Amino acid sequence: MHYLSTRGYAASSDSSVQFSEILLGGLAPDGGLFLPKQYPQVSLAELDRWRTLSYAELAFEVLRKFATDIPESDLRTITSKTYTAEVYKNARPDEASEAITPLRVLFERDGKKMIIQALSNGPTLAFKDMAMQLLGNLFEYALAKTHAELNIFGATSGDTGSAAEYAMRGKQGIRVFMLSPHQKMSAFQTAQMFSLQDQNIFNIAVTGVFDDCQDMVKAVSNDLEFKNRHKIGTVNSINWARVVAQVVYYFRGYLSATTNNDQRVSFTVPSGNFGNICAGHIARMMGLPIAQLVVATNENDVLDEFFRTGIYRVRKSAETYHTTSPSMDISKASNFERFIFDLLDGDTQRVKALFQKVETSGGFDLSGGPGSDGDEFKKIAQFGFVSGKSVHIDRLKTIQDVQRDYGITIDTHTADGIKVALEHLQENIPMLVLETALPAKFNETIREALGRDAERPVGFENIETLPQRFEVMAPDVDTIKAWIAKQTNL
């Protein structure tokens, strides 16, 4: 399996970039994102065989199609070590932790079916653990083979940071430098990250919004001299290995919700940075029978606007709302470039031009209207994408309705997903809503909606009272680079 950048790097037929070469990095040298030169296909016979596999075995089968340069015995060991009931032990009382991503049927009526796929049973109670735990083990494996070190530099709007830090804490040869928007995460999210005292974990609270943090990660990644000198890698959703790890649970969700391969399902995904649903897009391109991929946004509705109009219009920091589903408070979707590459039939020069226009003009227009940059909006239905938007009052009502009708407490982002999913239900096609976090992570809003605190898994009862260790910095690239250089040269 060979890879190329969405902007053309390694696109020639004689160039060879493999999985292990892009595992530790983020952006390609030309500023694009890596994708396989061809998506591997999954046959119906394979789907039949995969129905009886454990999650760890399924992860191996999917990953071996992408990581062909890692010995299969090593890859099987890594997936078996990652996806265990002990790691994903925070399942609800009525669910088996060994299922890893159990399904919970909300309702089935008039030929329509709504299902929640639980993805938040890992150590930080968020779906990010599904990929990050694998990344931690892959990174340690790759570094050990070369006796190398890696300084992970990432940005988080809430859940990526804690998932990365819990996956990398104590790992040999790895440091984590994580940017987050100062005072714009929930108290639980903040405590999860900042209370870690491990010496290889560094938290930086940036006086801005998530997009400021993300822009700094991209700026550092594009400084190839600095990146190489200080051994900088990334765990943000631009990291290809992380996206591949997320592909697995789409296959698990489909196989668990169906009995034969003639059936189709749809997925609704709360979306900010487009990484989670990008994995669903890849699964669909591999042949998974997905009818629709429903993009659910909050008030920061950049993606919803695009999938309704064909216009991608990035918001400035001052126009980005701080909401009660803060992990989606993103106005520049990093992984979106991967989908645009496929939408444009792999035209790397057009992709490069469009995303350069994002930087200079704040967006692009594929609506086909006068003065637009293209008319590819008419092709979006071919990829199964539709979208919708949920706001604070919707979240509160959805949390209340789900609690009253089904006795289940959901978090704010999953509430966004359910609200939008209800608008796109189809007869005889189950709708799977991807759960993004346990409600305890957003207790302020749960209390507002239900008048009580969310239940907490054992070990998280008093996390907000723990001592916290972090630095506050302005969103200045030179300042953060100097600070990283100082820490890595100790």
Q: Are 109 and 103 in contact (CB under 8 A)?
A: no
Q: What is the CA radius of gyration of the chain?
A: 21
In a domain, 421, yes or no: yes
Query: Looking at residue 490, what is its pLDDT?
Result: 54
Query: Looking at residue 335, what is its pLDDT?
Result: 93
Which is nearest to 325 in space by CA: 439, 481, 248, 425?
439
In a domain, 383, yes or no: yes
336: containing domain: 97-124+241-450
In a domain, 271, yes or no: yes
Token match 């870690």: residue? 196
Which is nearest to 327 in space by CA: 442, 218, 426?
442
What is the dihedral angle through the alpha carbons of 126, 130, 131, 134, rounded to the nearest 10 degrees?
A: 130
In a domain, 56, yes or no: no
Q: What share of the chain is helix, strand, coil (3-state, %, to 5)?
A: 45, 15, 40
CB burial of 188-209 (b: ≥16 within 10 Å; e: otherwise) equals bbbbbbbbbeeebbbbbbbebb
Q: Is the dihedral of CA 439, 445, 447, 448 positive or negative?
A: negative
Query: Looking at residue 233, what is its pLDDT?
Result: 85
In a domain, 361, yes or no: yes
Looking from the CA of 351 toward its CB, the CA atoms found within 13 Å total 25
Q: The whole model's pTM is what?
A: 0.93
In a domain, 287, yes or no: yes
In a domain, 267, yes or no: yes
What is the dihedral angle through the alpha carbons of 271, 122, 52, 20, rounded to the nearest 10 degrees?
A: 70
Give pLDDT < 70 ranges for the chain.
Answer: 97, 490
In a domain, 59, yes or no: no
Token match 């604070």: residue? 392
pLDDT in tens, 289-328: 999 999 999 999 999 999 999 999 999 888 999 999 998 9
pLDDT in tens, 159-202: 888 999 999 998 888 999 999 999 999 899 999 999 999 999 99
Domain tally, the chain = 1
CATH number of domain containing 296: 3.40.50.1100
- Which residues have a catalytic role annotated? 128
CB atoms within 10 A of CB 304: 20
